[in-house]
């Protein structure tokens, strides 16, 4: 059954009032009970103090007869129960018992209020009395004189407090009922009044929603009158906002359709919400898949895995192949918005990857084509140098130049081929556990003669039995290139230090020279191919400009890193980090 708004408003007001009355009643009753009990306890404490003073002056021996006369005299003066207890727990008098009954009362030394009074001077408790069979409030005070020491206890039945509370509860109940009835009458009046006003406002809002101009029938003195003009203003603002959104939508569609990249927008449920023409063409879709899931639109496991791995605020990229008639390489960049929606941008990189492949093939093919004629030139030049020409002085000078250049070109081609193989992944690395000290000694022994010619000293610092995870050929090439550079650029009678040490899960190999050093402006580009700090000097020394690039690629392929820093006393330190 449908409940009217008026009835719901009435029930809501009634529930709020009823809840308030119940909460207030519970709170007041609790406070009244606490307050009355506190007053009773305070009154009992005052009576026990007075009684203690009186008993200390009048009672001087442990006698039940004297104690009974004394408590009855106190009980006649005030409507309380008085009990006198000796310090050993014996009851000497009680206003509710006869002298014979007092003698049979059990020892009271274990009563909590008695123990507290004997220890602290005062004590109180609230419990059931086994002597008279009622719930009682107790207050006890210690007394003493020259011959007697004990406790006087004053008590009052809890039922008297309960009777007083019952009267107060009745008054609270009557007051609460009166408030509840008045609240019901007010709820009926206001529910009817507000229902009439809200119906008028709803009717006015419906007319505005239908595009009609109307005025609400609301008295001007009513506080909701401003709501009418607000609704009118809201209607005008909404109309303007709709027009602005239409313009923005058209602009967004124009930009989206003008983009060369394919764009797909998904909601949090991975359903397509927006897709442009470039995406339809790239994905070979006949119609817009708006409302369909991504899996229904395009079946690319790599793209699905990429979306599943994202969290809100994250973005990642992946490259994969798509297409049926024409196979294309696509670079996808996916952004996961904080709302959980996704934006996918797809770029066709087929031509770019083809051009990169052509470039690599070109370098490789040219290098192979140049190796053969250069080898022939070198062989012929060596033959001429063996005495085939008559003018030995001039012929020797030219032929030595031919040999030197052919060796340089041969080295250049060899380095280019090595670099091409590393980049293409054709240099198969077989990582094994190698002893670092042996690898350092091998590299130094190869360059020992060259260093001796320049009267240089290669000092290999002890590095123990450190093991590295590396490919044997690759680490030999890396160490040879670094040492070869050090020998080339270190002046005669210079010192080259080679050391290796462990740093956590990495092994660091350093080659330090005392050469001219490298200016800071050049340090970030040292490992670029063909980059030279001093081009004239590098060519003079026979460098190809590819040695450090090969070092970087080989080291990265083995899971390591490479870098350079200036030496403390001049020169340079080239370092390589490799896995232990």
Evaluate if residue 290 carries a pLDDT over 90.
Answer: no
Residues 414 and 532 in one domain: no
Q: How confident is the model over 60-69, as a mean pLDDT?
A: 83
Residues 510 and 416 in one domain: no
Evaluate if residue 367 carries a pLDDT over 90.
Answer: no
Q: DSSP assignment of 9-45, as one string?
A: HHHHHHHHHHHHHHHHHHHHHHHHHHHHHHHHHHHHH
Residues 418 and 443 in one domain: no
Evaluate if residue 205 carries a pLDDT over 90.
Answer: no
- Is 246 domain-assigned? no
Picking from 293, 317, 347, the residue at the C-terminal end of a domain is 347
79 vs 155, residue with greater confidence: 155
Picking from 144, 163, 182, the residue at the C-terminal end of a domain is 163
Residues 451 and 488 in one domain: yes
The predicted model scores a pTM of: 0.38
Structure confidence at residue 539 (pLDDT): 47
Residues 281 and 135 in one domain: no
- Is 236 domain-assigned? no
Instruction: Domain count for the chain, please give it.
Output: 4
Domain that holds residue 570: 432-579
The strands making up 91-94's β-sheet, listed across from edge to edge, are 91-94, 81-86, 149-157, 135-144, 122-128
Structure confidence at residue 326 (pLDDT): 74
In this predicted structure, which of 225-234, 338-347, 455-464, 499-508 has the lowest mean pLDDT?
Answer: 225-234
- Is 227 domain-assigned? no
Evaluate if residue 221 carries a pLDDT over 50.
Answer: no
Picking from 386, 404, 424, the residue at the C-terminal end of a domain is 424
Structure confidence at residue 55 (pLDDT): 85
Structure confidence at residue 374 (pLDDT): 72
Residues 157 and 33 in one domain: yes
Residues 394 and 282 in one domain: no
Looking up tokens 């060369």 gives 260
Residues 415 and 467 in one domain: no
Evaluate if residue 534 carries a pLDDT over 80.
Answer: no
- Is 371 domain-assigned? yes
Q: pLDDT by residue (tens digit) across 484-494?
A: 888 888 888 88
- Is 391 domain-assigned? yes
Residues 451 and 534 in one domain: yes
CATH number of the structural domain spanning residue 420: 1.10.287.130
Q: How confident is the model over 172-196, as a mean pLDDT?
A: 75
Strand, helix or coil for residue 322: strand
Evaluate if residue 146 carries a pLDDT over 70.
Answer: yes
Q: How confident is the model over 33-58, as a mean pLDDT?
A: 82
Strand, helix or coil for residue 135: strand
208 vs 466, residue with greater confidence: 466
164 vs 347, residue with greater confidence: 347
Residues 418 and 528 in one domain: no
CATH number of the structural domain spanning residue 341: 3.30.450.20
Looking at residue 93, what DSSP letter applies? E
Evaluate if residue 164 carries a pLDDT over 60.
Answer: yes
Looking up tokens 């709803």 gives 202
- Is 220 domain-assigned? no
* H or E element at residue 356: helix 350-383
């Amino acid at each position: 059954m449908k409940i009217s708004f008026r009835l719901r408003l009435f029930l809501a007001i009634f529930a709020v009032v009823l809840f308030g009355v119940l909460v207030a009643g519970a709170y007041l009753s609790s406070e009244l009970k606490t307050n009355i009990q506190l007053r009773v306890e305070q009154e009992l404490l005052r009576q026990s103090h007075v009684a203690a003073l009186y008993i200390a002056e009048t009672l001087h021996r442990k006698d039940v007869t004297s104690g009974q006369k004394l408590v009855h005299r106190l009980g006649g003066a005030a409507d309380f129960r008085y009990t006198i207890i000796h310090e050993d727990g014996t009851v000497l008098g009680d206003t509710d018992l006869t002298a014979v009954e007092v003698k049979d009362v059990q020892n009271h030394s274990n009563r909590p209020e008695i123990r507290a009074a004997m220890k602290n001077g005062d004590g109180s408790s609230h419990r059931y009395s086994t002597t008279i069979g009622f719930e009682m409030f107790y207050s006890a005070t210690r007394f003493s004189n020259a011959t007697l020491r004990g406790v006087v206890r004053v008590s009052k039945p809890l039922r008297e407090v309960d009777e007083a509370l019952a009267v107060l509860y009745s008054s609270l109940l009557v007051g609460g009922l009166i408030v509840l009835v008045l609240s019901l009458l007010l709820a009926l009046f206001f529910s009817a009044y507000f229902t009439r006003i809200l119906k008028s406002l709803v009717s006015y809002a419906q007319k505005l929603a239908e595009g009609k101009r109307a005025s609400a029938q609301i008295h001007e003195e009513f506080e909701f009158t401003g709501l009418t003009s607000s609704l009118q203003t809201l209607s005008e603002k909404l109309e303007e906002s709709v027009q602005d959104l239409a313009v923005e939508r058209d602009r967004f569609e124009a930009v989206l359709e003008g983009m060369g990249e394919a764009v797909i927008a998904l909601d949090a449920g991975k359903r397509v919400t927006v897709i442009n023409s470039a995406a339809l063409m790239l994905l070979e879709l006949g119609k817009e898949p708006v409302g369909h899931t991504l899996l229904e639109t395009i079946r690319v496991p790599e793209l699905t895995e990429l979306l599943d791995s994202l969290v809100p605020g994250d973005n990642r990229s992946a490259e994969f192949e798509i297409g049926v008639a024409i196979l294309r390489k696509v670079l996808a960049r996916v952004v996961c918005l904080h709302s959980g929606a996704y934006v996918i941008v797809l770029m066709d990189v087929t031509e770019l990857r083809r051009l990169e492949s052509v470039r690599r093939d070109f370098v490789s093919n040219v290098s192979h084509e140049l190796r053969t004629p250069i080898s022939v030139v070198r062989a012929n030049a060596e033959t001429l140098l063996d005495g085939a020409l008559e003018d030995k002085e001039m012929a020797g000078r030219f032929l030595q130049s031919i040999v030197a250049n052919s060796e340089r070109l041969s080295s250049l081609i060899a380095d280019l081929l090595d670099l091409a193989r590393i980049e293409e992944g054709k240099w198969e690395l077989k990582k094994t556990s190698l002893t670092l000290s042996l690898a350092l000694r091998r590299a130094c022994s190869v360059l020992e003669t060259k260093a001796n010619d320049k009267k240089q000293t290669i000092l290999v610092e002890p590095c123990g039995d450190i093991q590295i995870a590396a490919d044997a050929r690759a680490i030999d090439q890396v160490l040879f290139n670094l040492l070869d550079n050090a020998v080339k650029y270190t002046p005669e009678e210079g010192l080259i230090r080679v050391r290796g040490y462990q740093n956590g899960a990495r092994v660091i190999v350093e080659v330090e020279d005392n050469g001219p050093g490298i200016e800071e402006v050049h340090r970030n580009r040292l490992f670029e191919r063909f980059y030279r700090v001093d081009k004239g000097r590098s060519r003079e020394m026979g460098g190809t400009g590819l040695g450090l690039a090969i070092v970087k690629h080989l080291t990265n392929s083995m899971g390591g890193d490479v870098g350079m820093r200036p030496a403390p006393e001049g020169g340079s330190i080239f370092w390589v980090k490799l896995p232990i």
